[in-house]
A and B are shown apart, each in its own frame.
Chain A
Amino acid sequence: MNPSPFDLIDAGVVDLSLGLHRGTWTAVQILEAHLEQIRKHDAKYGAFLSIVDGVHDRAREIDRKRQDGRPLGPLAGVPIAIKDNICIKGQPTSCGSAFLQNFRPPYSAEVIERLEAADALLIGRTNMDEFGMGSSTENSSFGITRNPWSPSRTPGGSSGGSAAAVAARMCAAALGSDTGGSIRQPAAFCGITGLKPSYGRVSRRGLIAYASSLEQIGPLTRSAADAAAILAVISGHDQGDSSSSTRPAFGLDELSPLDLKGLRLGLPREFFGEGINPAIEAQIMSACQRLRDAGAELVDVNLPHTPYAIPAYYVIATSEASSNLARYDGIGYGRRAEAAQTLDEVYAQSRSLGFGPEVKRRLMLGTFCLSSDSYADYYDKALRVRTLLRNDFATAFDECDLILGPTAPILPFKLGSLRNDPLAMYLSDVLTVSLNLAGLPGASVPAGFAVENEQRLPIGLQIIAKPFEEALILRLATAWEMIGGFHRESPRL
């Protein structure tokens, strides 16, 4: 009997691979169902930039493998979308930038190799803010992406394409990258689960760098169990990335059911109150109370340096970016201004043509912060404040096991509404950037909805843990799914 396409697009990572292993469905059927969903709806939402060349062959190969009785990987046949800043050998990988429009890397990122080894189906590349610089996916050179819950609104960013694709059932899971909230905030805006792993948990090799000391690749899925299944495959030390941790990889055996009794959940004062949309605050407080009702203990904690997280974050991120993006010089790869006559013209014109305004703005900011006259007041100062922010969390974790709060202070906003106010856009990252500065893992999980103009807009609950305690985050997320059940809701496209 043929499975209905509806079952296939609604099933998550764990169920799809289980069904494939059992022979309930084939990889080709899974692929077709998802491609059909993309064909039907993506013209409207713009989540995908392209479908991966050869994905049909790959699906047939996986099916043959199963027919031949050869062992299948843990993600066999699972269609996974890849953010456009993760290199796939021979496939266009453009980072949402006109500069890299025709770039095809001659190598694959470590995470891509691990997904392929796990027999996952890399289905397509998803839209993003150019080089990850943005919180709305409006800064892509290749058009905007719309929120599946409300097409006039942003899906968040920079991994907006990945989040929209997962929410719209165009893939079972997606990889995003999170430099200052770029997985968690779009997950919150799109009503799905997004996990930013601890710094060093997942190899960055082949992730096109924006801010090297802040960013991590992570999964966007429709359940905590699905996120765990992806993390188990992509995590673990990579000898090709000196910043990847030598600790053992995350393992699914760490995921025993969580007894909420006695679990201390910290609520930082600074994550509530002023600046937070009251509807969001109410929904997060209600989630926390339901967890308390189920046995957890709520603890007030302080993160006193939170007001300095945004400036510290933006100084460090733009400084690193100004260095990481200097390689786009029009010589070895990427756009080259045809009219350029001299070497300096090649540099200046290629970069000016290839980069959008937000990228230029951040490169200018970073170049300024690292200049010899500004270094002490900006870059070095930000690194010191970074120490204090990390210490804040260490102190808070003396009093609690996990920290909870909203993921974003605002609801998915109307496309275009923050475009001309870059500072306001930066300030909306206030609840996510501290984790990147401190290297902590964090997830955003669906926590309900607010209704605005008769539209249901998703709200994300952020769960933060000590470094390398992703397991605890995922166990709480699973416990919360059983209480809240919001992860089962899907947008009407």
Chain B
Amino acid sequence: MIDKRYDTVIGLEAHVQLKTRTKMFCGCAYHFGAPPNSQTCPSCLGLPGALPVANREAFRLGLRVGLALQCRIAETLRFDRKQYFYPDLPKAYQITQFETPSHFDGHLDLSFGQAGETVHILRAHLEEDSGKSLHGNKDEGTLIDLNRCGVPLLEIVTTPSIHSADMALDYLRELRLILRYIGASDCDMEKGSLRCDVNISLKPKGSTTLGRKIELKNLNSNRMIKRAIEYEQKRQAALYDTSKGIGAEESRTWDDEAGESRSMRRKESSADYRYFPDPDLPRFRIAKAWIEETKAQLPELPGPRFKRYQSQLGLSAKDAQQLVQNASAANYFEELTNLISSAKKAANWVIAKVLPALKAAPHLNAAANSAEAIAPIRPTPTIVAELINMTTEGLISQDAAHTLFDELRSSTASPQDLAKTLDLLQLNDPDQLRELLRQSIDANPDTWEALKSGTQPAQHALVGWAMRQSQGRANAAKLSELLRDMTI
């Protein structure tokens, strides 16, 4: 086991696309999957003479993230140019914040998975995304689509404060949850709105000096991140074991098919990016008032919410986590709890019915991911509260309530009317119920005798017969009650 001899030290660099309507420095809208090169203008094409103008909303969303990650916020900031030639970078420089990141020195205390561990945030800065290269067939060469070019990114860099693949994934999952909560990003790895590079090194157990680090690129899913880290742990351990160690810091790309990392031809460390302040953009100053206002508008974050559901609402950790994982479902749950004053019941309902309904409708799920919206699911919490009251009052059975929920997904009828229409109201009339019991006793004289001599399971059999006789409409609880009266 490598863990016995070496400590793993991991730092993550996440690039998240901010959920603005337009790009970072121009007014082009960006929609994933739009026709190639249909979302461009002189500025994001890098045409001669074109200039950048910063998007206020990108700053606001960045600020939300910075505050959610407990970062310090830079008072004044500037943009720098990072210069390198690449076909998907038409200006041959990326506008980024090299010298003054907007946000720095923050941390995320994990609430799920390896709860209690802390990941430190080195910096989170604004920059612009590059376009996309498509690798067509050989004759065609590489094709360039610049739609994505200029989309606002927040690059979130951790310190080397992560110790394992699992902790890396726990951090990423919680980061993603937070960013969705605060409406900063969709964090959809498949659509590239969350991308992650991993810096990893090993050091002898207990040593305080960091080993040479390797940068892993091209990790497009949680699974790939885990595999790549575990592969790299083994590869590096083997190198240290043979006392060769890591010769030089380098970037490696992950080949998921082959299950191995490979050195990249172009070594990042040898590049000279020639950063300098972008003379096309002015200085920015983040006013205290803006910070305070943004802080006040932040929703409750998943970690605190998770704790509150357990300590104040008495939910189990499992239920609380399920709810907190989906902000809009959690909001639905809170609304329902307020209406029926039973958190447990509300949780059961949301977990059993609302979450599956959300999952079955991905468009709703996506639209309602942020903590500021209640899941736009029909039936609304008010209607569900009525269903719950109807069950409490014995008007309908639990099963019937669930059936009604499904019907109400597409119906606008009142629950009461619908229950009537669908013949789901329970039989509650004592005379009719006693008649059903009498029929059950007549049909099952042996069971009745057994009950009278104290054999409890006999009661279920008699009530069950009566339920079947009523085609499920009889109120089972009341039947049991009446039967008990009859045995006394």
Residues of A within 8 A of B (CB): 85-87, 93, 95, 100, 103, 105-107, 109, 204-209, 211-213, 239-243, 319-320, 322-323, 326-327, 329, 331-333, 343, 347, 367, 370-372, 375, 379
Q: Which residues of B contact A207 (CB under 8 A)?
A: 49
Closest to A103 in B: B48
Q: Which residues of B contact A320 (CB under 8 A)?
A: 279
> Bound state CA distance, A212 and B52, in angstroms?
12
What are 21 A-B interface contacts by the 8 Å CB criterion? A93-B48, A106-B47, A204-B49, A204-B51, A205-B50, A207-B49, A208-B49, A213-B279, A242-B53, A242-B282, A243-B280, A323-B274, A323-B276, A326-B91, A331-B144, A332-B45, A332-B46, A332-B47, A332-B90, A333-B48, A343-B87
When the two chains form their complex, are residues B85 and A87 in contact, meaning their CB atoms are under 8 A apart?
no
Nearest CB of B to A171, in Å = 22
Nearest CB of B to A478, in Å = 33
Nearest CB of A to B353, in Å = 50
When the two chains form their complex, are residues B85 and A347 in contact, meaning their CB atoms are under 8 A apart?
yes
Q: Which residues of B contact A322 (CB under 8 A)?
A: 274
Residue with the highest number of chain B CB atoms closer than 10 Å, among A100, A332, A333:
A332
When the two chains form their complex, are residues B274 and A241 in contact, meaning their CB atoms are under 8 A apart?
no
> Bound state CA distance, A343 and B86, in angstroms?
9
> Bound state CA distance, A319 and B46, in angstroms?
18
Q: Which residues of A contact B83 (CB under 8 A)?
A: 323, 326, 370
Closest to A95 in B: B48
Q: Which residues of B contact A242 (CB under 8 A)?
A: 51-54, 280-282
Q: A242-B51, A327-B90, A332-B45 are in contact. List 16 more A-B contacts (CB 8 A).
A: A93-B48, A105-B48, A106-B47, A205-B51, A242-B52, A242-B280, A242-B282, A243-B51, A243-B282, A323-B81, A323-B92, A327-B48, A331-B87, A347-B85, A367-B274, A370-B276
When the two chains form their complex, are residues B274 and A370 in contact, meaning their CB atoms are under 8 A apart?
yes
CB-contact partner of A106 in B42, B52, B54, B87, under 8 A = B42
Q: Which residues of A contact B282 (CB under 8 A)?
A: 242-243
When the two chains form their complex, are residues B279 and A243 in contact, meaning their CB atoms are under 8 A apart?
yes
Q: Which residues of A contact B281 (CB under 8 A)?
A: 242-243
With A323-B83, A329-B85, A347-B85 in contact, is A87–B49 under 8 Å at CB? yes
When the two chains form their complex, are residues A371 and B46 in contact, meaning their CB atoms are under 8 A apart?
no
Q: Quick one: CB contact mask for B43-67 with A, threshold 8 Å, 1 for yes?
A: 0011111111110000000000000
When the two chains form their complex, are residues A208 and B53 in contact, meaning their CB atoms are under 8 A apart?
no
Q: Which residues of A contact B292 (CB under 8 A)?
A: none
> Bound state CA distance, A213 and B281, in angstroms?
10
Q: Quick one: CB contact mask for B10-50 with A, threshold 8 Å, 1 for yes?
A: 00000000000000000000000000000000100111111
When the two chains form their complex, are residues B274 and A239 in contact, meaning their CB atoms are under 8 A apart?
no
> Bound state CA distance, A242 and B142, in angstroms?
34
Q: Which residues of B contact A379 (CB under 8 A)?
A: 276
Q: Which residues of A contact B46 (CB under 8 A)?
A: 327, 332
Q: Which residues of A contact B50 (CB under 8 A)?
A: 107, 205-206
B181 at the interface (CB under 8 A from A): no
Q: Which residues of B contact A85 (CB under 8 A)?
A: 49
When the two chains form their complex, are residues B90 and A209 in contact, meaning their CB atoms are under 8 A apart?
no
> Bound state CA distance, A107 and B49, in angstroms?
10
> Bound state CA distance, A333 and B52, in angstroms?
19
When the two chains form their complex, are residues B47 and A326 in contact, meaning their CB atoms are under 8 A apart?
no
Nearest CB of B to A55, in Å = 21
Nearest CB of A to B71, in Å = 25
Q: Which residues of A contact B92 (CB under 8 A)?
A: 323, 326-327, 329
When the two chains form their complex, are residues B85 and A326 in contact, meaning their CB atoms are under 8 A apart?
yes
Q: Quick one: CB contact mask for B66-92 with A, threshold 8 Å, 1 for yes?
A: 000000000000000101010100111
B272 at the interface (CB under 8 A from A): yes
When the two chains form their complex, are residues B54 and A107 in contact, meaning their CB atoms are under 8 A apart?
no
With A106-B42, A212-B280, A240-B53 in contact, is A327–B91 under 8 Å at CB? yes
Interface pairs A-B: 7 shortest CB-CB: A326-B92, A213-B279, A370-B274, A212-B279, A208-B48, A206-B49, A208-B49
Main secondary structure of the interface of A (DSSP, over half): loop
> Bound state CA distance, A431 and B434, in angstroms?
112
Closest to B43 in A: A240
Nearest CB of B to A236, in Å = 16
When the two chains form their complex, are residues A239 and B276 in contact, meaning their CB atoms are under 8 A apart?
no
> Bound state CA distance, A242 and B51, in angstroms?
8
When the two chains form their complex, are residues B274 and A205 in contact, meaning their CB atoms are under 8 A apart?
no
Closest to A325 in B: B92
Closest to B141 in A: A343
B93 at the interface (CB under 8 A from A): yes
> Bound state CA distance, A322 and B93, in angstroms?
11
Q: Which of B278-312 contact A (CB under 8 A)?
A: 279-282
Residue with the highest number of chain B CB atoms closer than 10 Å, among A87, A100, A331, A343:
A331
Closest to A326 in B: B92
Closest to B93 in A: A323
When the two chains form their complex, are residues B81 and A87 in contact, meaning their CB atoms are under 8 A apart?
no
When the two chains form their complex, are residues A371 and B49 in contact, meaning their CB atoms are under 8 A apart?
no
When the two chains form their complex, are residues B48 and A371 in contact, meaning their CB atoms are under 8 A apart?
no
Nearest CB of B to A476, in Å = 30
> Bound state CA distance, A371 and B272, in angstroms?
7
> Bound state CA distance, A372 and B93, in angstroms?
16
Nearest CB of B to A297, in Å = 38
Q: Which residues of A contact B54 (CB under 8 A)?
A: 242
Q: Which residues of B contact A367 (CB under 8 A)?
A: 274
Q: Which residues of B contact A86 (CB under 8 A)?
A: 49
Q: Quick one: CB contact mask for B125-154 with A, threshold 8 Å, 1 for yes?
A: 000000000000000001010000000000
Closest to B280 in A: A212
When the two chains form their complex, are residues A319 and B53 in contact, meaning their CB atoms are under 8 A apart?
no
> Bound state CA distance, A85 and B49, in angstroms?
8
Q: Which residues of A contact B85 (CB under 8 A)?
A: 326, 329, 347
Q: Which residues of A contact B274 (CB under 8 A)?
A: 322-323, 367, 370-372, 375
Closest to B282 in A: A242
With A206-B49, A242-B52 in contact, is A107–B42 under 8 Å at CB? yes
Closest to A330 in B: B87
Nearest CB of A to B260, in Å = 26
